[in-house]
Chains A and B, each alone.
Chain A
Amino acid sequence: MQSVVSLSALCRFAVALSSLCLSPAFAQVPSGQDRSRAPAFISEAILSEMASELADQAVNPQWKREATIPEDWGYSLPQGVTSRQTSFFVDGGVRLQGRLFLPAGFDAADRYPALVVGHGINALAIGIEKYAAAFAARGFVAMSIDYQSYGFSDSGADELFLLDPDRTSDEDPVVTERRRVRIKRTNLNNVEEVKAFRAAVSYLQGEPGVDAERIGAWATSNGGTVLATVLATDARIKAAVIHVNGVMPSKGGARDLSGEALADAVRRVRTGQGAETSAGFSFKTQVDLWYRTRNRDAAPGPLLDRIPTTTAVLFLAAEKDELIGGNRSALAGSAALTARGAPSQVVTFPGLTHFQPYSGAGFRAGSTLAGDWFVRFLGQKEDGR
């Protein structure tokens, strides 16, 4: 029974990540051998150095993961790194929450590169704060964020249902009053997540001590799908790491809406709320079934050509990724970017499955490689004096 539930969850996740296996472009994916001729921008030597630990993680039952677990989330602040909660705003005034990490000896008179750090599908920033802390230890200002309607972030206009009459008219551009509302949480929606990343970039650009021209982003799993769309939408991000995900290039085109999805759409326009389904792995909740339809509007596959050729994208893939078929979509996405002349690279965790790189040797190797990528393409602190 458990395995049946798990399998259906995996299918839902695969849908969320994008139409990977069904893509016609899939047949044109270059093999790993072809890809290996692309230039390496950072060294993968750490994988050899940690080969025995990574091999143990791949087979030792203690490290088996079908989700991340609380032991995987914990971290100690690196020596000298400081941290504080922040609020930032999106979409006309929705308050989102981040946790900002500053490097040891941070001085706002200097100019630091800065990173947005984003979580995966239906998850929370607390599971990936340790990456932001690790990047701060490498000299970056880093901010992990909760997406709208998740964690410490507020619900936004799409999640606030007015139960009292709306008596506003165009005479008044704003009315503030006490009203009864139904607040929805965990509204899985990649379109809103794209906005969250972009607002976080804006926030960091205005942070004292941050060099607004040297912004990067790290995102994991479904967050990587979102980040790829962000890169195709917003040229301000100069370097990115997509963790345990890839982007299968695909053709664009209008999507049909029929059958059960249309019936759900009708229910949504008639009542304001459609059907629900469960989602998530490390943090499971109910979500709107509609996310499967809505997320197609933010699919990055057709948008890869819009990513600036100056944006550097590293894919950190898991060889045995059971949710998205190993590193195939990472190789395909990276090959498409490389073909356009953009700096891109794939580094594959040998033997690991989707949820293993968040802990143990996988985390140490992965956070180091990501840090190397950001140092390579964003540089380090510049003296402001």
Chain B
Amino acid sequence: MIFLLRPGLIGLIVCSLLSGCATGSQSTPPTAPPVAPAGVEAREVSWYSEQVRVSGTLYRPEGEALRPGVILAPDRSASAQSVAAWGMRLAAEGFVALAIDYRGSGASGARIYLGERVDVYDAMRFSEHDVEIVLRRGRHDPEAQVQDLRNAVTFLQSERGVDPSRIAVMGEGLGGGHVVSVMGLDARVKVGVALDPDIPGAGEAPHAFAPAPSSQAAMIRLAREGAPPRSRREAQERNTLENALLLEEYRPFWRLPDIPADAHLALIAGAEVAAGDETSDARASAAVLGARGVLIEAGEDRLAQAISFLKTHQPGPDIGQ
């Protein structure tokens, strides 16, 4: 049953499982749905990531064969549409690809906070309330985005026509850093591609975070006065401040040693890397990965390079045969 879900059905299934669910609770679709090439189906799907209804676009080739899946991770503040072209091309090459919007951005739902005190008791495990809530968007929490990707892996594993044992993750910029995080945390993902990745943490031994005075002052202010913002201006300021603090602590590079010995990660980066740029995150990551990684100099068509790598490590019924 769960493997036959179509997007329009998801809301109905949710409502049949959970009391009190309003019908028609689909997220707003993105403004311009991508146009898929012939032989590729593109449709909006949604699922839950830690209670937030998140959305994405699923790109699927024709036919009923069991196929490998690829999760597409946008850059930190980018949307699923930014990787739509990858999705269509991957589907044309025989993969089922899922481009996601992280929580609080694009077509995904907001992060919600209580706007008033509600009388609840721990013995009331679940209770429903009409209550003032504050819906925040544009707060790009990297670790939450990593959870969104892991939950997208789970979603794709349970989609029809997808081989749940062959899910890869592919991302660009900090999305490439998220690929490292997912593979270092989650052994379900054995194949990854990081395009021109930002992988913060290179060159530092893993250590506890000691905030600079300005960061510590901001942390104190948020802890003492950080009720949810109410005005547009206040929310924008909070997003800027909190996003900077969250990024300051995000260290996907430190997760490289946790990637399993039988995993494969391609780091595809520009010419300066091939020229030996020692400050490159991709080069430094490849050095840590050893046999688990490969550093590829980006050519004219990075996507073709990524697809070639994916086909080598997770061939499907229509792939490489």
Query: CB distance B110 to A184 under 8 Å?
Result: no
Q: Assuming A181-B131, A255-B186, is B20 touching A157 (CB within 8 A)? A: no
Interface string of B52-69 (1 = CB under 8 A from A): 110000000000000000
CB distance from A208 to the nearest CB of B (A): 11
Chain B hits for A93, CB < 8 A: 113, 134, 136, 226-229
Q: Is A158 an interface residue (CB 8 A)?
A: yes
Residue of A nearest to B190 (CB): A254
Partner of A90, one of B131, B133, B223: B223
Give the A interface residue count (CB, 8 A).
Answer: 84
Q: Show 28 residue pairs from A and B whose CB-CB distance is below 8 angstroms, ordered by the A residue.
A: A92-B226, A160-B112, A162-B109, A162-B133, A164-B22, A168-B135, A170-B106, A174-B135, A175-B110, A176-B115, A177-B132, A183-B120, A183-B127, A183-B128, A185-B123, A185-B126, A186-B122, A212-B216, A235-B210, A254-B184, A254-B258, A257-B186, A262-B157, A266-B2, A268-B154, A272-B18, A283-B122, A302-B258
Chain B hits for A183, CB < 8 A: 118, 120, 126-129
Query: CB distance A162 to B121 under 8 Å?
Result: no
Interface string of A147-175 (1 = CB under 8 A from B): 00011001111111111111111101111
A150 to B10, CA, bound (A): 31
Query: CB distance B27 to A166 under 8 Å?
Result: yes
A186 to B127, CA, bound (A): 12
Chain A hits for B135, CB < 8 A: 166, 168, 174-177
Chain A hits for B210, CB < 8 A: 235-236, 308
CB distance from A315 to the nearest CB of B (A): 18
Query: CB distance A254 to B14 under 8 Å?
Result: no
Interface centre among B27, B125, B258 (most CB of A within 10 A): B125
Query: CB distance A178 to B130 under 8 Å?
Result: yes
Q: Is A206 an interface residue (CB 8 A)?
A: yes
Query: CB distance A180 to B22 under 8 Å?
Result: yes
Q: Assuming A254-B259, A285-B122, is B154 touching A269 (CB within 8 A)? A: yes
Residue of B nearest to A288 (CB): B125
Q: Is A9 an interface residue (CB 8 A)?
A: no
Q: Is B137 an interface residue (CB 8 A)?
A: yes
Residue of A nearest to B123 (CB): A285
Chain B contacts with A in 133-155, Cβ cutoff 8 A: 133-139, 141, 151, 154-155
Q: Is A231 an interface residue (CB 8 A)?
A: yes
Chain B hits for A311, CB < 8 A: 208
Q: How large is the interface on B (under 10, 10 to 19, 20 to 34, 35 or more residues)?
A: 35 or more
Query: CB distance B260 to A180 under 8 Å?
Result: no
Q: Is A88 an interface residue (CB 8 A)?
A: yes
Residue of A nearest to B111 (CB): A157
Chain A hits for B129, CB < 8 A: 180-181, 183
Chain A hits for B25, CB < 8 A: 162-166
Chain A hits for B114, CB < 8 A: 94-95, 154-155, 160
Chain B hits for A161, CB < 8 A: 51
Interface centre among B13, B121, B226, B236 (most CB of A within 10 A): B226
A307 to B263, CA, bound (A): 29
- Interface segment among A47-55, A197-205, A321-329: the answer is A197-205
Query: CB distance A254 to B112 under 8 Å?
Result: no
Q: Is A252 an interface residue (CB 8 A)?
A: yes
A169 to B110, CA, bound (A): 8
Q: Is A248 an interface residue (CB 8 A)?
A: no
CB distance from A256 to the nearest CB of B (A): 4
- Interface segment among B42-50, B269-277, B295-303: the answer is B42-50
Query: CB distance A252 to B128 under 8 Å?
Result: no
Query: CB distance B28 to A163 under 8 Å?
Result: no
